[in-house]
Amino acid sequence: MTEANPKIAISAKGLRKVYRGNNKAPAKEALKGVDLSIPTGSIFGLLGPNGAGKSTFINILAGLVTKTEGEVLVWGFNIDRNARQARASLGVVPQEINMDVFFTPKEALDIQAGLYGVPKSRRRTMEILKALRLDDKADAYVRQLSGGMKRRLLVAKAMVHSPPILILDEPTAGVDIELRKQLWDYVLELHARGVTIVLTTHYLEEAQELCDEIAIIHEGDVVACEPTEKLIASLDSKTLMVTPIEALDAAPDLGAFTAELKTDGRLSIPYQPSKAQVAEILERLSAAGVAVKDLSTVESDLEDVFLELTYRRAG
Ligand code: ADP
Ligand code: MG
């Protein structure tokens, strides 16, 4: 029934959510039968535009939203049959900052630990506050904390019961670069200690940089789920950037390849790595009388993958 250390941290099968409509809004199918497996030990990104269904998915895991259909296991625990254990296996940092402002960070963590039944002797309140650089604010009132500090406190609260899985829902939306870095330092530290990390974001760059596996969710459907590198490689498209020795007036004719002359004088030449070698392009350039001063290749990035997937769907 349960596993001490499952291979799959979170699994969803046929997960559907329909928000009931009312006189103001029609019913909304936010998740349309999502199948997803999040491997233990990964930093998993759930990527998608606003309204894709990311928070709905997270909130179902956290027990805050009731699913319409489907089966969900968290750390091997079924969220219907073993709700308490499932919930104890997760720490969730919600998208919205909603916190009781009348407590101090120390009190807030103690209350949270109490809710999860962590005995006093096993609480790590100051250690957690220190890790999130909130130790000097331990006894300040929450309402005196900056927005960034509040967000760090939410992460601290999510970790009081030392869950094996930490879920962050858009943790860096509206957060400045310095704080973002601090937050990731801590998250990566937890990951190094074995915590499985799930993060939702609509920042492609962030997902590409941090996540080793990514699911792209679009209008309630998972349209891709792969290791990050594979996802990007799957596009089979790269661009060769060439700086000619002598400035060109127009892009040269390269036969099977199409060059574009950029305003900075460089040539941009897209190609498919599975079909063409850079050497072939260089031969074509030489044949066209273009002497090369410098060259580099540009990989496609997640943005391209994302556009292609959503475009393919729409089209
Ligand atoms: P994301 O987190 O990816 O931005 P959400 O899960 O918040 O997406 O929302 C998915 C869809 O469900 C959106 O169309 C949103 O308007 C709708 N939705 C979210 N929460 C509710 C709710 N409580 N009642 C009705 N519709 C909702
Ligand atoms: Mg959201």
Instruction: Of 180-189, 231-240, 306-315, give the range with the top mean pLDDT.
Output: 180-189
Written as one letter, the residue type at 150 is: K
Three-state DSSP class for 257? strand
Instruction: Dump pLDDT digits (tens) for 109-164.
Output: 999 999 999 999 999 999 999 988 899 999 998 888 888 888 889 999 999 999 99
Q: From ligand 2's centre to the CA of 31, what distance in Å?
A: 13
Mutate to test the pocket of ligand 1, among 18, 31, 55, 56 (most ligand atoms within 8 A of CB): 56
CATH code, 8-232 = 3.40.50.300
Q: What is 236-299's CATH topology?
A: Alpha-Beta Plaits (3.30.70)
**Mean of pLDDT over the chain:** 90
Structure tokens at 29: 């199918």
Confidence of residue 312 (pLDDT cuts 50, 70, 90): low
Mutate to test the pocket of ligand 1, among 15, 17, 18, 19 (most ligand atoms within 8 A of CB): 19
User: Identical fold at 8-232 and 236-299?
Assistant: no
Per-domain residue ranges for the chain? 8-232, 236-299
Instruction: Dump pLDDT digits (tens) for 69-121.
Output: 999 999 999 999 999 999 999 999 988 877 777 899 999 999 999 999 999 99
Structure tokens at 61: 């895991």
For residue 215, the surrounding DSSP H or E stretch is strand 213-218
Instruction: Dump pLDDT digits (tens) for 2-43.
Output: 456 799 999 999 999 999 989 888 999 999 999 999 999 999
Angle at 166 between CA 101 and CA 129, to 5 degrees: 45
pTM of the complete model: 0.81
Side-by-side strand order, sheet with 260-261: 260-261, 267-271, 238-244, 292-299
Name the residue at shortest CA distance from atom 23 of ligand 1: 19
